[in-house]
Amino acid sequence: MDYLAGLNPQQRAAVENTQGPAMIVAGAGSGKTRVITYRVAHLIEKGVDAFNILVLTFTNKASKDMRERISKVVGAEAKNLWMGTFHSVFAKILRVEAEKIGYPSNFTIYDTDDSKSLIRAILREMQLDDKLYNANFVYNRISSAKNNLVSHVEYMQSAEIQAEDVSNKRPMLGVIYETYTKRCFKAGAMDFDDLLFKTNVLLKNHPDVLNKYQHKFKYLMVDEYQDTNFSQYTIVKKLAAAYQNICVVGDDAQSIYGFRGANIQNILNFEKDYPDLKVYKLEQNYRSTQNIVEVANSIIANNKNQLEKNVFSENESGDRIKVSRAFTDNEEGKIVAEAIVQDRSTNGLDYHDFAILYRTNAQSRAMEEALRKLNVPYKIYGGLSFYQRKEIKDLIAYFRLTFNPSDEEAIKRVINYPRRGLGDTTVDKIIVAADQHDITMWEVIQEPQKYIAGRIANQLNDFAMLIKSFQAESKKLDAYETALYISQHSGILKELHTDDSIEGRSRYENIQELLNGIKEFAEREDIEDRSLAIFMQDIALLTNDDRENDKTQDTVSMMTIHSAKGLEFKNVFVVGLEENLFPSQMSLNSRTDLEEERRLFYVAITRAEKKLTLTYATSRYRWGTLTNCEPSRFISEINARYLELETVKAPKTSIGEDSFDGERRSWSQQRDSFSKPKPVSSGTTTTSAASPRPKNTMLPTAHIPTPGFAPNAANEFQNGMEVEHEKFGFGKIINLEGNLPDVKATVFFQGLGNKQLLLKFAKLRIVK
């Protein structure tokens, strides 16, 4: 068994001991994925049927990577594993068992936007104040209830919950929850939380179904167990009850999703559920230098609530961790940008070797501005995903209606797109008629003459016939042919093709990209069912964490620390290490919250392989006001011998500010800068009168083109070329993407920043 030869003793023990309950405590960079995949492969090699193994992950990317690794050991048998995210695996089970809980097998899965749209509609109908009953707040309240297995009935019957809502002046939350639940059910839709909540209902109310899956899944493995919530914990415990061959893998030090409902106690108290538990500790970090590992250890040692382990590295000692002090957030951005340029040049690195991590998305602005000024290409992760773009959601809504015409949110999204004279007034009439007769919106649309008077009935008939034609074609065509047919006959392709603006062309190209993705799916040979309905299931279950650091593009990665979990980079900058920012002011009310912030810092540190830089500013604009900032308590928790501290020279002012000499000082000289922070005040911030807001810079004057200006053809441009634009002036091409004739260029123009231009329309002249 060659795959066992490369494992260290702790890894090998975790792989070979497959009977009974086990917990693998996997420190950062300790080869966790290798252990999980080899453990599954080892089970199959020992004769366990792959169909009897369930592996649960938190991202589709993780399950895909694991399956590929397992297939290299056991071959095609890896295809038979039940492996995927909690949501995808239990959605698959619910499709089979849906009728037992009153749902159709083709139920729609609502994403967050769909859920909030429905909540907003309910708030309007109930004539509730949408400021008091903010849709985001209501959605999170319902989500929290479901994750704690509190149904709308139990919510309404709980005196404690009702008293809490009344004291918060939101007594109608229970009614909204009930209405939301009933509307989803009527629409044949489940939201993301329902996929777990309804699975619990299924297993609780149908012992025959529970028994079936208990004996099907004789071996369970759960990755990132520290991130499980109560709902996930309950499902896993029920399924493992028959054989108790359950193995959970995780690291309590990387539990950072408490705000999503993750409960760190699930991993800390795992032994209470399984007294015969075997614990395997993977403590050798293969990713980072010794100094980085020691810094991480010194930080996490301050948490009281944790599993004991001793993470170590046998890699090189590496550089000490640099701590840079800036005077403003803009200065902080400049420090980081200049360090990236210098490190890249000195050490022969690529831009994709660098990552900038921050606590909040708002911090990206200063970093972006500094990178742009130095022409450093970057990519921000965690922004609008491809499947959340309007044009994509519009077309997908038509797909959803094809397979579930009762889908209320899909109907509202496209009934009048492209425009067909069925506006908001008509939609309101349909909703009223559906409520009065206790039927779905689709039933009203199919026979509008029964419920709605006037000429609108004919237009509704036409819409109903359109959707029925899509349903008929979907039974004859494959996924790609069906999608293309719907794209053409819905009018979306024509609508976007006639929009000649750069934005319109971009939206049209996005639709083409979606169709390309469906074509690839339709041609896959590793799955049996390649219908559009299955493609729809797959994309509905994509999570925000299903992002991959794309190293085919040479760009600096920028993201929140939460988004960085699971990734690694040679050089990492953790910025904004200031009290009330990191740790967040919201986390300073309890030890539990503060310890989660410290775990978040631990995660940030352990993303770094070779070099780690920590930065903070002594002043920062917040809500338009310049505030003084104290360095984060986390810096003072790091053992001083691992640190190298630097201070940049303060900008000179005309109002008598003290300035620093800008020279590097020893730790002993700077220790006072990182003294333990004072107790947190009532939350007010101090405005610095010494640092006035910078004056607005003048707008650039209009560019006058070079005499004889003549644009070049689209096929003549290359990355790095200096160019001239008639309006924007001189710039430099920093990225080209797409194929001729539709190549899109990202051009950095001095004073204007990056502009995205389609070369065939842009009229650019090559300067050199």
Q: For residue 344, indicate whether it is catalytic.
A: no
Query: By the 8 A CB rule, do 618 and 301 touch?
Result: no
Residue pair 400/536 in contact by the 8 Å Cβ criterion: yes
Residue 269: CB atoms within 10 Å: 10
Catalytic residue (choose from 10, 11, 32, 67): 32
The Cα 600–Cα 594 span in angstroms is 10
- Residue 223 bears catalytic tag: yes
- Residues in a beta bridge with 277: none
Q: How far is the C-alpha of 356 from the C-alpha of 380, rounded, in Å?
A: 10
Half-sphere exposure of 658 (CA within 13 A, CB side): 1
Asked if residue 29 belongs to a known ligand binding site, the reply is yes
Show the beta-strand stretches assigned E in 655-728.
722-725
What tokens appear for 723 in the block? 């160019």
Q: Which of 114, 191, 194, 224 is an active site residue?
A: 224
Residue in 97, 191, 223, 407 annotated catalytic: 223
Q: At what angle do helices 230-240 and 192-205 cross, to 10 degrees?
A: 40
Is there a binding annotation on residue 656? no
Among 184, 185, 189, 197, smallest CA distance to 86 is for: 197
- Check 199, 254, 537, 560 and give the catalytic one: 254
**Distance separating alpha carbons of residues 351 and 344, to the nearest angstrom:** 7
State the Cα–Cα distance between residues 667 and 573, nearest whole angstrom: 20
The answer to whether the beta carbons of residues 595 and 537 sit under 8 Å apart is no
Which residue in the list 33, 162, 290, 685 is annotated as catalytic? Answer: 33
Give, in degrees to the nearest 5, the angle at Cα 491 between 490 and 492: 95
Q: Note every long-range contact of 532-538, with CB atoms under 8 Å and residues 24 or more positions apart, other chains counting.
A: 532/399, 532/402, 532/403, 532/474, 532/478, 532/479, 532/482, 532/483, 533/106, 533/403, 533/474, 534/479, 535/479, 536/396, 536/399, 536/400, 536/403, 537/91, 537/95, 537/109, 538/88
Q: Is 32 marked as binding a ligand?
A: yes
Active site annotation includes 224: yes
The torsion angles phi and psi of 459, rounded to 5 degrees, stand at -65, -35
Of 320, 413, 429, 607, which is the active-site residue?
607
348 is in an annotated binding site: no
- The answer to whether the beta carbons of residues 232 and 258 sit under 8 Å apart is no
- Please say if 33 is a catalytic residue: yes
Cβ partners under 8 Å of residue 401, min gap 6: 407, 410, 411, 414, 467, 470
Q: Residue 626: beta bridge partners?
A: 621
CA distance 394 to 333: 38
Is 690 in a helix, a strand, or coil? coil
Q: Catalytic: 606?
A: no
Strand partners, 26: 282
3-state secondary structure of 765: strand
Beta-sheet pairing, 722-725 with 729-737 = antiparallel
Is the C-alpha dihedral spanning 124, 129, 135, 141 positive or negative?
negative
> Which tokens belong to 191?
């939201």
Give the span between the Cα atoms of 270 and 274, in whole angstroms.
7
For residue 24, list its beta bridge partners: 249, 280
HSE value, Cβ hemisphere, 13 Å, CA-based, for 91: 24
**617 assigned to a ligand binding site:** no
Contact 692, 655 (CB under 8 A): yes
Quick check: is 513 catalytic?
A: no
583 preceded by a cis bond (ω within 30 of 0): yes
DSSP type of residue 607:
T
CA atoms in the 13 A half-sphere facing the CB of 99: 1
> Would the annotation count 746 as a binding residue?
no
- List binding-site positions for ATP: 26-33
What are the catalytic residues?
32-33, 223-224, 254, 607
- List binding-site positions: 26-33
